[in-house]
Amino acid sequence: MPSRSANWLAVVAGLVMTEACTTAVHDSSAASSPGDDAGAPDDDGAASSGPDVTDQYPAFSPAAPQVVSAGGSVLSAPRIVPVFFPGETQASTFTDAITKYLASEEWRASTVEYGVGAATAAAPVQSADPFPAGLATSDFALWLASHLDGTHPEWGPTDDATLASSIFVLYPPAGSSLYAPPNLSTPLTPALCGPHPWDLEGWHWQTTPAPGPAPAIVFAIVGACTSGGLALTDRMTATTTHEIVEAATDPHFVTAPAFNGVDDAHAFWMELTGAGEVGDLCGQELTTPPDVGYLVQRTWSNVAARAGHDPCVPAVAPAYFNVTVDAPDGFYDPYAGVTVQGLIIPGGQSRTVDVHLFSDGPTDAWKITAIDPNAAAGGAALLKLTLDRDTGANGDVLHLTIAPLSDADAQTALYQIDSTLHGVTQHWYGEIAVQ
């Protein structure tokens, strides 16, 4: 689903959307074996030399979200085709970035567990026609299909087998106007590189074929957008890798979705990450792997999440640290449309829940912050969140008291727990229902 510079916050007391750019760029060269960071100075004010509570890593097994398939097929051997338009000056740069990324361990780490194998970087296409102006994605899909009907040889082979395995990555010129389908969280139509919080830097899509044997064509749009303080080329290579991975693991999400949502128990996470594909769940977590040499998007790994490791791969820190919060109750989330796991609080009361700290190697103690996302986004405060203490390390158990600020029947609200150490912040999300 879309690459975006904003987190989308949806809360039952009113849909709140705000631009909260949280790009995190990590130095891959700093990654090492767990434990190499133990004893380093703590510039966040947390205790810097306290002993770990336990030498078992992780001390707790997190009940982390899992990206689940809706049953559609992935592209097991994708063919990636960059497409450029008249006047493009960075075609060689983006072609090189794609080629190196597909050959890297980072590509394998992002895709193999979802059934996607080795990918091929096809020869780039230099379109003889300019990028069409002012189209919606559905109309653009028709334009793309008309250029893959065998009448435009510069687009390469167009037999059914080739098209069925291809992802066309298109780079509209700066200033191009293109409109995405309405976002899942809003009826507003996002524009490419637009000025609003709901606008997007890129997305992937498919043509919807007429009845018959013709395959759907999978494509991605990468805008010439700048955001998050990144240079234009960096932002575009990050968007490129985000969309390639998602297009391979969820190529036909309109007609036969594959990995495009999380398990029901954690469905509310998508209200805070914007969507549930493997790139979306890692937000703006970016890194420059040495074997790629370009900024890439880190993506979600179910395997790493289950094991208590950094779920966004490639891992970039010496040790991953976070919390997991008890979620003993099941209740219906009207936004997700499923029964989720969280905490039921009787009207007018509060409840206290255990917050378990874990890391996959030795670390200093880290800072814990409880956040009401609605209030953080500029909306009304929905929850009073009180921690019994605000630092800890692997094996510690903190206690979070949650008091809803409204006792309206069947109200639900989200909360967020941030863990911060040495300038790195990890997130955990939870949901309550007032019943």
Q: Please, which residues have CB within 8 angstroms of residue 58's CB and are 6 or more apart in sequence?
A: 308, 358, 359, 360, 394
Mean pLDDT, 10 residues at a time, over the chain (435 residues)?
A: 32 25 58 33 37 76 96 97 96 98 97 98 97 90 93 95 97 92 69 88 86 80 89 97 98 94 96 90 92 97 97 93 98 94 95 98 98 94 97 98 80 96 96 95
pLDDT at 213: 61
Q: Please, which residues have CB within 8 angstroms of residue 264's CB and are 6 or more apart in sequence?
A: 336, 338, 339, 340
Residue whose structure tokens are 């640290």 = 321
List the chain domain ranges. Answer: 78-297
- Global pTM? 0.86
DSSP 3-state assignment of 248? Answer: helix
pLDDT at 222: 97
Q: Please, which residues have CB within 8 angstroms of residue 161's CB and are 6 or more apart in sequence?
A: none
- Rounded Cα distance, 330 and 65, in Å: 15
Q: Please, which residues have CB within 8 angstroms of residue 153's CB and are 6 or more apart in sequence?
A: none
Which fold does the domain 78-297 belong to in CATH? Collagenase (Catalytic Domain) (3.40.390)
Sheet of 24-26, strands arranged across: 24-26, 285-287, 296-297
- Spatial contact of 303 and 314, defined as CB atoms under 8 Å apart: no
- Spatial contact of 366 and 420, defined as CB atoms under 8 Å apart: yes
pLDDT at 182: 73
pLDDT at 44: 40
Do the strands 218-222 and 259-262 form a parallel or antiparallel pair, or are they unpaired?
unpaired
